[in-house]
Each structure stands twice: as structure tokens, then as C-alpha cells.
Amino acid sequence: MNALGNTTMRRFPPILLMLVFGLGIPVSGWAQLAGKGPYVELAKGTRLCSNTLLDQSRGARDPGKVFWKVSSHPRTNGTQTVAAFVLETIYDRQSGDTKVRESRYDEEYATFFKRDPERTGMWLMISPEDGKVEAIVEICPKKK
């Protein structure tokens, strides 16, 4: 019986090890993703721009003129508030200078952010009302 017990104990640890790795790793990976859900949380104040090349391919007249600012922290339902702005070029007749000014384009509204599966570093702005994609955005490049 002693020989039988030793053979069983020799085989048991590798089987146990395989079970721990086989079941434990997928479960631990699932636990990390379960709390986050399908949506991404962006920091308040993040400035988001639409991709100029993507806008041009879709036939936009003035690509790169509209941008969004995230104006809230994530809510319990996962939405965040954004405000849309447009860059306007203004000519001053008296001085002859041309200035670029940010103007509010739309009222603040709630949206979900989701990673774009087709483009790395870009997010989909999704309407919580109907689930449609409102815009494809990326973090605006830093001004020099």
C-alpha cells in the first residue's frame, strides 16, 4: 500500500498543477475585464479630435475643425459628458490679423466611449439613446 500511495502522490501534483493553470488563468483574466465592461473611461478635460484622414475619406468639408472636450468623470452607468467645439477663423478688419477662436458647437451631452476595433488609438463615441456611433475620435495632438 505504501508503494501505491507513493505512485498516486507522484502523479497528483502535475495533475493539480495543470488544473490550477487550466482553470485559474482564464478565470483571473475574466475577473480583470468584468469590472471594466465594454466601455473606456477617459479623464475629465481630455480633448478629442476626429481623424483628419478618416474625415477626408468620408467627404467632410472642413476636417479637423470640430473637436470635443470630456467634461465629466464617468457616471455609474458608464456615460461621460462631452462638449463639442468648432475652430473658427476670424479676420479682424482693423488690425488685419487673422485669429483662430474656439466656439461652442453644441450643448453638452452624454456618450459612451468604446475602443475602435479597426483602428488602434481611436475611440467610438456611442449614443446611449440608440447605440449608434456618433463619431470616431482620438486624443488631439499637443500644440507646439
The stretch 70-93 carries a mean pLDDT of 90
Per-residue pLDDT at 15: 52
* 95-138 confidence digits (pLDDT tens): 889 988 888 888 899 999 999 888 888 899 999 999 999 888 99
Per-residue pLDDT at 23: 45
Locate the domains of the chain by residue range: 1-35, 47-139
Q: Is 137 helix (H, G, I), strand (E, B) or coil?
A: strand
The stretch 49-61 carries a mean pLDDT of 63
Q: What cell does 131 get? A: 447605440
* 19-37 confidence digits (pLDDT tens): 444 444 443 333 222 235 6
Whole-number percent of the chain with pLDDT over 70: 64
Cell 470616431, residue located: 136
Per-residue pLDDT at 28: 34
pLDDT grade for 68, boundaries at 50, 70 and 90: very high
- 98 Cβ contact partners less than 8 Å away, ≥ 6 residues apart: 89, 90, 91, 92
